[in-house]
Every structure is written in structure tokens, then in C-alpha cells.
Amino acid sequence: MSSTAVFPINMIRICIDGYGYDLSGRAYNKMLFMPLPFAGYCGMLLGMDDLFEKVGYPQAFQARRTFHKPEKLRGTIHIPEQMLDDEEMSRQRGSCQTFDIIVQSRRQSGWQGILMDPDRTYAKKFRSEMELLHHICGDLEKISGKAGSGGGFYDR
């Protein structure tokens, strides 16, 4: 029997390869053929949000505002073909830190979900993207020893 973790389609593995004033790394999801590289907190969040829109899960409870021609709203969940299996997802690790993020819902123009370490030894709930970033930065500062050194998201 395999001990590989199960990765639902609303889970994203964040592999952080660089952390200083900002962070950089890769995001993995079962529906992505290639990793989604990101630079910065905003790049990570925007990339994840775009992925949720393409997959259709978790669905946003409000329509996006845009200056472009609005896309047709999906009435049902569209589950694209799975590109990565659970074993391949489990092998992905960042050189600084790795997080698994499950976004359970996208209500009130924000995300609600759970942040976990890859070994599932702890889980932290979040009610917004800012709270998610607060948890990520706190964990990175503990590991790097940069607490209060101006390297964290809230120290700007």
C-alpha cells in the first residue's frame, strides 16, 4: 500500500525557491502540465486565481470585474484532464520551503481554506489571501531566522 498523499484538484503545492524581500518559486496542480513559475506574492496569488478560473473549482461567488470583454460564466464545474498524478505532485519540493494550499471556497472576493506543510504535520486555516500570506511569511521567517528583519510581508 502506498503512502503517497492525495491531492484534490483545489490543492496547489507551492515550492518556494527564493525568499528575501519577496519570494519566488513554482506552483503545481494536478491540472497543470508544467509548473507555474511565479515571482512575488502577487504573482503567486494571481497565478493561483487564474488556475481556479480555468479549472472552474472552487468557483468564485462573484463575477470578476474586467475592462475586457467578459467571459461567459460557467454554470457547472469543468474538470479538465488530469496532467500530474499524486506521486509526481508529492515529489515536488522547493529549495526554501514547500506548502500545500487547499482553497475550499472563494466567497466575499477572497479565499478560504487550509495551509499545510507537505508532511501534513500541521494545518492552518485562513479566511483571506492576506491571512494566507501572513501564515506563509511567518513560517518562512521562522525557518530563515529573519523575523522582524524587514524581509516579511508585513514589515514593508
Dump pLDDT digits (tens) for 92-131.
999 999 999 998 877 666 889 999 999 888 899 999 889 9
Q: Does any domain span residue 133?
A: yes
- Domain limits for position 43: 11-155
Give the mean pLDDT of 132-136. Answer: 93
Asked, for residue 1, whether it belongs to a domain, the answer is no
In the chain, what percentage of residues exceed pLDDT 70? 72
Q: Is residue 3 part of a domain?
A: no
Does residue 59 form part of some domain?
A: yes
**What pLDDT, on a 0 to 100 scale, did the predictor assign at position 66?**
58
In a domain, 75, yes or no: yes
- The CA distance from 108 to 62, in Å, is 7
Distances (CA, A) of 6 to 29, 50, 78, 103, 124: 12, 22, 20, 15, 18
Domain annotation covers residue 5: no
pLDDT at 154 over 80: no
In a domain, 151, yes or no: yes
pLDDT interval class at 68 (50, 70, 90): low
* Band (20; pLDDT cuts 50, 70, 90): confident
Mean pLDDT of 132-147: 84
The total number of structural domains in the chain stands at: 1
* Of 22, 71, 81, 19, nearest in space to 50 by CA: 71
Residue 6 domain-assigned (yes or no) = no
CA dist 69 and 11 (Å) reads: 29
